[in-house]
Amino acid sequence: MARPRPFQSAETAVPAPGAVSGPVPDLSPYETASVPVAGIAVDYPAGSRIPPHCHGRAQLLYAVKGVLTVTAGNGRWIVPPHRGVWLCAGAEHAVETRGAAQMRSLFIDPRAVADLPAENGVISISPLLRELIVAATRLPLDYRPDSRAGRLMHCLLDELAAVPRLPFYLPWPNDPRIAGVCTMLIEAPDAPATAEAWARQLATSSKTFHRRFLDATGVPFGRWRQHARLLHSLEDLAQGLPVLEVAFRHGYDNQSAYAAAFKRQFGMPPSRFYRTETA
């Protein structure tokens, strides 16, 4: 695995193909601030890509608007609105946006507080935590611990210690041939190709394909495909597309089948998913 690269400043960054255009924000003041929590607000246009990098502090990424795809290690997280992704200090990651995204990032000194999340992952963002995140991005980087700002950030850290983890993780294979299959499944989620059809394309038996897929992802082919379809359907739901259209786009024959699978995975029907955290 390649050695993680620190986030580059605006003066030294070299944009990668497909990277976000325009100046790259200099994050060094936020990573070296003397305060335990430092926040920044950055808006990204549709189709932005932030290449792999890492930070010396833990990071909480939260999109006020838009859906983020965060790649870290051998997996991806789809991060819809009203959810966030927690990244431990030193975790190499890349970020992509399908539509325009209003991103709010917190850089947290892991030495400042105990009981922070110990693993990377998507977390629930309550209305209170959301407002605290937004407030953090408006604070100066030299607030005093005994000030109102310091007390707000202490409350934010208390909230972070209690947030539940969410099932928005998609394991990504390190086998190049299986990774190619997974990429095609995401790019064409409505494609009806079965495991047997993929096995023929790879010139192997169905049994061997199933075994290789399970070895590479830790998940059986059918379950991985359904989870990928449901996760990526969150992006279309966030754009306000009708549930029926989203169902067809992601390989379901009808709205009922999609809604049933969605509820089994996320605990609520798709029609309610983006309304539960807006109060």
pLDDT band at 278 (very low <50, low <70, confident <90, very high): very low
Please say whether the dihedral angle defined by the alpha carbons of residues 152, 153, 154 and 155, taken in this order, is positive or negative.
positive
In the predicted structure, residue 236 carries a pLDDT above the cut 90: no
Average pLDDT value over all residues in the chain: 84
Q: What is the mean pLDDT of residues 3-22?
A: 35
- Whether residue 228 contacts residue 170, with contact meaning beta carbons closer than 8 Å, is answered with yes
| Closest to 54 in 3D by CA, of 113, 8, 119, 22 | 8
Domains of the chain listed by start with CATH number: 28-160 (2.60.120.280), 173-273 (1.10.10.60)
Q: What confidence tens digit (pLDDT) does each residue in 46-65 have?
A: 888 989 999 999 999 998 88
H helices of the chain, in order, are 28-31, 127-136, 148-160, 176-187, 195-201, 206-217, 221-238, 243-249, 255-266, 270-273
Question: Could you say which DSSP state residue 204 is in?
Answer: S
pTM summary value: 0.77
Give the model confidence (pLDDT) of 173-226 as tens digits.
989 999 999 998 888 887 767 899 999 989 999 999 999 999 999 999 999 999
**Contact between residue 107 and residue 59 where contact means Cβ atoms under 8 Å apart:** yes
pLDDT of residue 247 exceeding 50: yes
Q: Tell me the helix, strand and coil percentages in the chain, rounded to 5.
A: 35, 20, 45
**In 3D, which of 138, 75, 68 has the Cα closest to residue 103?**
68
Query: What is the C-alpha R_g of the chain?
Result: 20
Q: Which residues, in sequence order, are CB contacts of 154 under 8 Å at separation 6+?
A: 145
